[in-house]
Amino acid sequence: MIDAFTNLLRLVGSFFPPDLSAAYLRALLVPIAQTIGMAAAGMLIAFVLGVPLAVAIATRAPGHRLIVAALSALRAIPDLTLAILAVVVVGLGPAAGIVALALFYSAMVGRVYGDLFAAADAAPLEALRATGASRIAIAAYGLIPLTLPDLLTFGTYAFECAMRASIIVGAVGGGGIGTELAGTLSTLDFHRALTLVIVLVALVAGVDAFGILARRNPRLVLLLLPVGLISLWLYRPQIFAFAHAVHTFATMFPPHLRASQIASLPLLIAQTLAIAVGGTLLGALLAFPASLVAARRIVPFAVAVAVRRVFDVARAIPELVFGLILIVTVGIGPLAGALALGLHSAGVLGKLYAESLENVPAAPIDALAATGARRLPIVAFGFLPLALGPLVVHTLFRLEWNVRAATVVGLIGAGGIGQALYQAQQLFFYQQMLAYVLVTWGLVALSDWFGERLRLRLGWNFVAA
Amino acid sequence: MIEISGVRVVYGPGAPPALDDVTLQIAAGECVALVGPSGSGKTTLLRSLNGTVAIAGGSIHVDNVEVAQLRGRALRRLRTRLAMIAQQHDLVDRLTVVQNVMAGALGRWSTPHALRFLIAPTAAELAEARAALTAVGIPEKLRSRTNELSGGQRQRVAIARALVQHPTAILADEPIASLDPELGEQIVRLLCDLARERNLALLCSLHQVEFARRYFDRVVALVGGRVA
Ligand SMILES: Nc1ncnc2c1ncn2[C@@H]1O[C@H](COP(=O)(O)OP(=O)(O)OP(=O)(O)O)[C@@H](O)[C@H]1O
Ligand SMILES: [Mg+2]
C-alpha cells in the first residue's frame, strides 16, 4: 500500500520540472498556433453555419423540425469520434481537426442559439414582424441584439470548449498541441508533457479572459474572422481534397460487425457506462466539499478565489489529457478512464456547484445567521436545501456529458466502445469502425434522451446546455 | 432589556445619516411599535441592534452588554438572544416545517448536533417544535412541507422559530407587510400576546399606525432617521 503510494508520488514527481528551455518553447510555437488556428477556424465555420440555422429554428422556417432533429443527432456524436472520422476521411493534420470542430460546434451553436432566440422577449419581435420584416431583418434588428449578452456568454464558453477539443482532436492526428502531447507521452518524455499541459491551461485561461473582454466590448469577437480565415487558407488544400474524402467515406459502408463482436457489445457498453458513472461520482464527491470553500458567501473571498483557481486548472485539462497522464501512473483500463473523467468533472462541477451556492436567495440565509448559527449549520440548513435543484441538475448534465467522454477516453486504452472504435480505425477496418460509431451515437442519444426525461420529471430543467 | 442611546448610522462617505441621534429603551415584556415612512431607517435600526449594521456613534446595550464591542463567538451568542422576524421570504422551502422551526436552536447547538438533527431528530426536539407550533396556533402543520404553507402560516412558523431561540427580545421588521389586513392583525396580536406572556421585549416595525396604537404599549415614529 505504502509502496504503491510512493510509486505514485515518484511517477507524479517524474513530470517535474517542466521543460521550459528556450529551444523547446520556440519549437512549440507552431503547434500552439495550429491549435489556436484550428479552434478559431472551427468556430468561425460553426458561427457561419450555426447562426442561420438557429434563426431558421427560432423563426419556425419551413423544415425547422428537421433541422432540430439533425442537429440533435449530430450533437450526439462525441467530438473525438467525429475527429477520428474526419482523420479517416480528410487525412492526418489540422484540416481534419477543423472539419471535426466545425461539425460538432455548428450543431451546438445551432441548437443552443436556437433555444436562446426562442426565449427572447416576444413583444419587440412581434412589432418587427408586424412591419413585414424578412427573417434576416428580424435576426439583425431583433433576435441578435435582444439576446446578445447570452450569445456572447455561450459563444465564449463554446470557444473555450473548442480549444480543449482541438487538443483531443490533435491526439488522434489532427495536429497542434494534442499531437505533440500524445508524442511526448508515448516516448515517456514527461517533462515536456508537463510543459504542454501548462501551455494548455494558459490557453484556456486566455480564452476565458478574452471572453470577459468580449462581453464588455463585443466587437472583439471580429478578431475571430482574420485568425479563422488565415488558418482556413493555410490548411485549404487538404480540406478540399474532395474526391479522396468521398472515396474513403464510401469504404465505410455498409457498417458491419462479426458475430463475436456483436456478442461482446453489451460488455463494451457496460464498461463505457461504468466509466461514465464512476467518473461522475468521483467528480461529484471531490467537487462537493471543495465547492463549499469556493463559494464567496460561505468563506472569505481570498479562500474562495484560491480554490476556484484549482477548479480552473482541472477544467482546463481535458479528460483525454488526464487519461494520457493517468495511464502511465495507474496503467491502462477502465480505472484510469474513470479517474480521468473524475478529475476533469471535479473542476467543472466544483465551479458550477459554487456558483449555485452563491446564487441562493439572501433572506433565508440572513435569517439563519441572525439566530447566531455557526457556519456549517447555516450551510446544512440553508445553502444546501436552497441550492439542491441546481446541484442535482448540474450533476445529471455532467453524467450525460461523461457518457460521451467515456467513449473518448476509450481510445487511450480505458476500454469500452471507444477503445473498440479506435482499434478498428487503426487497423483500417472502416466498416467495423462505422458500426461502432453508430453504437456510440445510439448510446449517447439514448442517455441524452433519458437525462432530459429525468430532469423534466424532477421539474428542474432550467440550466441551459 | 434594550438601551439605545444617541445612535448614528451612516452607510457611505458623504451619504446622509440613515439614523441620527436615536435614543430608545425597551423593557422586558414591553411591546414597542416602530412606524415611519419608507426610507426613514426602521430596518437600519433593527439591524443595528444585532450587530448586522455597524453604528458610527452612540451606543447599544442588550442585557447590559455593548453590541459594538462584540465579535465572533460573543456576537453569535448575542444573536441567539435577539430573534429576528422579517417579511415572509425567510424560510427555507425545501426543509420541513419542523426543520425550519428548530433552526431557531442553531445558535446553541454544536455543529455535530445540528447535522445529527437533520438526519435523526430526537423525541425531545420534536416535542419542542410541537410546543412552539402550538403557541403560534398551527400544531397541525408539524409534518407539513414548508412550500405548502400560506403566507400567514409562514409568518407563524417564523414566530415559532423565534420562540425556539429562547430570546430576550423579538425584533420584527414589517412582519405583516405582505399579508392581507385581517391576517396581519392576527399576527400582530399573536406577537404582542407572546411577548407579554413570556416577558420578552418586542420591537416591531409596521406601516399600519392603527394596529400600532391598538396593540402596542408604545409607538415610536422615525422620520428621516430621527425619532419624531
Ligand atoms: N445597505 C445600504 N446601503 C446604503 N444605503 C442604505 C442601505 N440600506 C438602507 N440604506 C439607506 O438608509 C436609509 C434608511 O433605510 P431603511 O431600509 O432603514 O428604511 P426603512 O424605514 O426600513 O424603509 P422601508 O419602510 O422602505 O423598509 C434609506 O435612505 C436607504 O436608502
Ligand atoms: Mg425596511
Nearest to B90 among A367, A378, A381 (CB): A367
In whole angstroms, give the CA distance from residue A419 to residue A408: 8
Which among A351, A285, A278 is positioned nearest to A314, based on CA atoms? Answer: A351
For B95, the closest chain A residue by CA position comes to A385
- Chain A CB within 8 Å of residue B79 CB: yes
pLDDT at A165 (0 to 100): 85
CB B177 within 8 A of CB B147: no
The CATH class of B2-227 is: alpha beta
ipTM of the complex: 0.92
Chain A residue numbers with beta carbons less than 8 Å from the beta carbon of B108 are 372
The CB-side HSE value for A234 (13 A sphere, CA atoms) comes to 17
Which among A123, A422, A396 is positioned nearest to A281, based on CA atoms? Answer: A396
3-state secondary structure chain A: CHHHHHHHHHHHHCCCCCCCCHHHHHHHHHHHHHHHHHHHHHHHHHHHHHHHHHHHHHCCCCCHHHHHHHHHHHHCCCHHHHHHHHHHHHCCCHHHHHHHHHHHHHHHHHHHHHHHHHCCCHHHHHHHHHCCCCHHHHHHHHHHHHHHHHHHHHHHHHHHHHHHHHHHHHHHHHCHHHHHHHHHHHCCCHHHHHHHHHHHHHHHHHHHHHHHHHHHCHHHHHHHHHHHHHHHHHCHHHHCCHHHHHHHHHCCCCCCCCHHHHHCHHHHHHHHHHHHHHHHHHHHHHHHHHHHCCCCCCCCHHHHHHHHHHHHHHHHCCHHHHHHHHHHHHCCCHHHHHHHHHHHHHHHHHHHHHHHHHCCCHHHHHHHHHCCCCHHHHHHHHHHHHHHHHHHHHHHHHHHHHHHHHHHHHHHCCCHHHHHHHHHHHCCCHHHHHHHHHHHHHHHHHHHHHHHHHHHHHCCCCCCC
Q: Is the pTM of this model over 0.90?
A: no
Chain A residue numbers with beta carbons less than 8 Å from the beta carbon of B172 are none
Nearest CA to ligand 1 atom 4: B11
In whole angstroms, give the CA distance from residue B118 to residue A186: 52
- Chain A CB within 8 Å of residue B129 CB: no
In whole angstroms, give the CA distance from residue A37 to residue A202: 16
- Give chain B's end-to-end CA distance (angstroms, integer): 22
Length of chain A measured in residues = 465
Q: Which residue has the cell 466539499?
A: A289
Q: Which residue has the cell 480521468?
A: A340
Task: Give the domains, in start order, of chain A with CATH numbers.
Answer: 17-234+241-250 (1.10.3720.10), 251-465 (1.10.3720.10)
Return the higher-pLDDT residue of B178 and B104.
B104
Q: Is the CB of B39 under 6 A from ligand 1?
A: yes
Looking only at the bridges linking them, the beta strands covering B57-62 and B218-223 are unpaired
CB B34 within 8 A of CB B81: no
CB A433 within 8 A of CB A289: no
Pull the grid cell for residue A202: 494558459
B145 pairs with which residues across the strands?
Answer: B96
Looking only at the bridges linking them, the beta strands covering B169-173 and B82-85 are parallel
pLDDT at A465 (0 to 100): 33
pLDDT at B212 (0 to 100): 93
Cα–Cα distances (Å) from B102 to A234, B20, B112, B192, in that order, read: 68, 37, 15, 22
Looking only at the bridges linking them, the beta strands covering B65-66 and B2-9 are unpaired
In whole angstroms, give the CA distance from residue A98 to residue A162: 10
CB A171 within 8 A of CB A179: yes
CB contact under 8 A, A380 and B80: no
| Low-confidence spans in chain A with pLDDT less than 70 | 1-2, 4, 237-241, 459-465
- Chain A CB within 8 Å of residue B78 CB: yes
The separation between CA A8 and the C-alpha centre of its own chain, rounded to angstroms, equals 28
User: Do you find a cis peptide bond into A364, omega within 30 degrees of 0?
Assistant: no
- What is the CA(B206)–ligand 2 centre distance, in A? 9
B173 pairs with which residues across the strands?
Answer: B205
In whole angstroms, give the CA distance from residue B11 to residue B140: 44
For B52, the closest chain A residue by CA position comes to A370
Nearest CA to ligand 1 atom 27: B38
The separation between CA B91 and the C-alpha centre of its own chain, rounded to angstroms, equals 13
Chain B residue numbers with beta carbons less than 8 Å from the beta carbon of A369 are 79
Length of chain B measured in residues = 228
Residue B107: partners with Cβ closer than 8 Å, 6 or more residues away: A371, A372, A373, B76, B77, B79, B80, B165
- Chain A CB within 8 Å of residue B52 CB: yes
CB B45 within 8 A of CB B34: yes
CB contact under 8 A, A371 and B77: no
A vs B, Cβ pairs < 8 A, gives 87
Cα–Cα distances (Å) from B183 to A124, A182, A236, B175, B209, in that order, read: 41, 71, 75, 11, 16
Task: Pick the range with the lowest mean pLDDT from A72-86, A255-269, B99-113, B160-174.
Answer: A72-86
pLDDT at A464 (0 to 100): 36
CB contact under 8 A, B79 and A372: yes
- What is the CA(B41)–ligand 1 centre distance, in A? 6
- Among A360, A371, A381, A384, most B C-beta atoms within 10 A, so best to mutate, is A371
Domain locations along chain B: 2-227
